[in-house]
Amino acid sequence: MSGFSFAESPVSAIAAPLVVTLPGPGSEVVRWGERHTSRVPARSRRLFDPVPEKPLTLHDSWWIVAAAALVAASALVVAVWIAVHLRVDPVLHQAGLFVHLASLALGFGGVLMADYLVLRWLAGRSTFADAVQSANRLHAPIWAGLAGLIASGCVLEPNLDSPLTRTKLVLVLLLTLNGLQAGILGRRLTDFTTAPLPNRLLGWAAVTGVVSQICWWGAIFIGFWNAEH
């Protein structure tokens, strides 16, 4: 055949590979019957990987949590600025109060439910895996309630000259930061649902729960005191 060259092994024409040289200025040699010994590049293997790489989430790194904390603190500062410069009529104030109370019920109710699940595990009425998985499902309503409290607080005309109001803002900031690091704690706890819980994680969880309760109850008390006085 014109333009093609074939080469066969003189030992065995059946078992030997078939070599074809393609015509043209950039001649290429194609072989049939030989096993490829070159390794497939890692980038090419990823194209055929049946399990895609998992993207980073909020609680995969302390750096991501620190960035989220910075964003949360900035949002709280923006909320305070809006509360100072916004003129609120009575209708908007009443609507904001309703949202504030509903958000309190949603967020703080989720916190109390999570603590109740932990108490059930401590009492031996549920497994640790069930307690952790159920508590992790409560993160969404808790964060929704906290966001609603901050947003609705912008229209409640807080007295920022009061030391109690400033203390409440600090408690809200601590509550937010505590919730962000609690996400990493929950991720670590899921690794020990079938293994003994280390004392380090147990102490970490206890401190997180105590800080959460202090911040929630302190903010509720200050809000009630300011409403009455």
DSSP 102-115: HHHHHHHHHHHHHH
Q: Does residue 104 fall inside a structural domain?
A: yes
The label of the residue with tokens 């590049």 reads 41
Q: Does residue 52 fall inside a structural domain?
A: no
**pLDDT score, position 58:** 59
Residues 114 and 216 in one domain: yes
Residues 188 and 99 in one domain: yes
Residues 43 and 78 in one domain: no
Residues 13 and 68 in one domain: no
pTM flag (> 0.85): no
Q: Does residue 126 fall inside a structural domain?
A: yes
Q: Does residue 53 fall inside a structural domain?
A: no
What do you get for the CA distance between the two ends of the chain, in Å? 103
Element (H, E) at 66: helix 62-85
Q: Does residue 55 fall inside a structural domain?
A: no
Res. 195 pLDDT band, cuts 50 70 90 = low
Domain range for 105: 61-228
User: Rounded to an integer, what distance in angstroms lies between the CA atom of residue 86 and that of residue 97?
Assistant: 15
Instruction: Domain count for the chain, please give it.
Output: 2
For residues 91 and 57, which has the higher predicted lDDT (pLDDT)?
91
* Least trusted range by pLDDT, from 44-53, 140-149, 178-187: 44-53
Residues 120 and 10 in one domain: no
CB neighbours of 152 closer than 8 A, spacing ≥ 6? Answer: 96, 97, 99, 100, 103
Residue 173 clears pLDDT 80, i.e. is over it: yes
User: Rounded to an integer, what distance in angstroms lies between the CA atom of residue 43 and that of residue 139?
Assistant: 37
Cβ-contact 17, 33 below 8 angstroms: yes
Mean of per-residue pLDDT scores for the chain: 80
Residues 183 and 126 in one domain: yes
**pLDDT score, position 59:** 61
| H helices, E strands: number in the chain | 7, 3
* Least trusted range by pLDDT, from 28-37, 103-112, 199-208: 28-37
Mean pLDDT of 59-76: 87
Residues 43 and 130 in one domain: no
Q: Does residue 56 fall inside a structural domain?
A: no
Residues 151 and 75 in one domain: yes
**pLDDT score, position 6:** 45
